[in-house]
Amino acid sequence: MFLSNIRIVLVRPTHPGNVGATARAMKNMSLNHLYLVAPEDFPSTDATDRAVGADDVLENAVICASLDEALKDCHLVIGTSARQRRIEWPSLDPESSAHRLVDGAQLGPVALLFGQERTGLLNAELDRCHFVATIPADRNYSSLNLACAVQILAYEIHRAGLSGSSATLVDSVEGDRPASDEDMQRFYRHLEEALQQIGFLDPANPRRLMRRLMRLFNRVVLDRNEMNILRGILTAVQQHREKFDKNDQE
């Protein structure tokens, strides 16, 4: 079992009661790694009261200032959202999400993200996700309480863990380790810079194109070797462009 590689990440939670109830929901389902990104009110007695016996999960919670910090070494990130988006992220139901996470956890840390009670996950936060999981619910009232949403996904992860999920992901990645979120963010910055240099990306409006490209790369689990090849291509394009610019000035 690789459940210890699965981290539950609450992004900017506002109510400490929800943080406590999340810890309890996790511990019931054998999940222990809670990450809190910029929590509004933590530690708090409200959180401890609601954790009822899962205080250890709260005590060991990792507090991060930014999402970068929480996802740094993760090679698979699944976000959760009740809402349909304009540019859709590839979406999964809770059961398939759980299987992906359990499979992915065999290779290293993976993350399941939950949004803030009021706003949910922002688009920039969803850009970090390979998939978005939605719990099917009433069409006109689909937003669950944060800790209730955690409970449903945690239950599915527990079930997927017990059913001994397939090792498809392990088989598909030959040799090299999958690229981490930190590697991918570095790659996206490089890609954005190179696309601007060759005049393909409008610096005044970079988000739309970058979002589409991120979705494209998120669909493929790149390993580190493949990512290095792509970065090598970008560097070669940049050097070619610099030479071209220099010749042009002479």
Decide: 69 and 38 in contact? Cβ < 8 Å: no
Binding status of residue 144 toward ligand SAH by CB under 6 A: yes
Decide: 54 and 29 in contact? Cβ < 8 Å: no
Cα angle for residues 79, 88, 133 (degrees, 5° grid): 30
Binding status of residue 192 toward ligand SAH by CB under 6 A: no
The stretch among 37-45, 56-64, 139-147, 229-237 that binds ligand SAH (CB under 6 A) is 139-147
Using CB under 6 A, pick the residue from 30, 40, 63, 82 that binds ligand SAH: 82
How many secondary structure helices (H) and strands (E) does the chain include?
A: 11, 7
Residue number, 81 or 165, with CB nearest to ligand SAH = 81
Q: How far is the CB of 147 from ligand SAH (least distance, A)?
A: 9
Using CB under 6 A, pick the residue from 5, 22, 81, 218 that binds ligand SAH: 81
Using CB under 6 A, pick the residue from 51, 98, 105, 135 that binds ligand SAH: 135
> 28-31: long-range contacts at Cβ-Cβ below 8 A with a sequence spacing of 24 or more?
28/54, 28/151, 28/154, 29/151, 29/154, 29/155, 29/157, 29/158, 30/1, 30/3, 30/158, 30/161, 31/3, 31/6, 31/154, 31/157, 31/158
Q: How far is the CB of 195 from ligand SAH (least distance, A)?
A: 31
Residue number, 82 or 221, with CB nearest to ligand SAH = 82
119 burial type by CB count under 10 A (0-12 exposed, 13-18 middle, 19+ buried): exposed
Binding status of residue 142 toward ligand SAH by CB under 6 A: yes
Site string for ligand SAH, 209-238 (x = CB under 6 A): ------------------------------
Rounded CA-CA distance 95/231 in Å is 35
Rounded CA-CA distance 177/170 in Å is 10
Interaction residues for ligand SAH, span 3-62 (CB under 6 A): none
72 burial type by CB count under 10 A (0-12 exposed, 13-18 middle, 19+ buried): middle
Q: Is 120 left (phi over 0), alpha (psi -120 to 50) or beta?
A: left
Residue number, 25 or 191, with CB nearest to ligand SAH = 25
The stretch among 50-58, 100-108, 134-142, 190-198 that binds ligand SAH (CB under 6 A) is 134-142
Q: How far is the CB of 15 from ligand SAH (least distance, A)?
A: 10
Binding status of residue 146 toward ligand SAH by CB under 6 A: yes
Interaction residues for ligand SAH, span 86-115 (CB under 6 A): 114-115
Residues lying near ligand SAH in the complex (CB under 6 A) are found at: 80-83, 114-115, 117-118, 120-121, 133-135, 137, 142-144, 146, 149
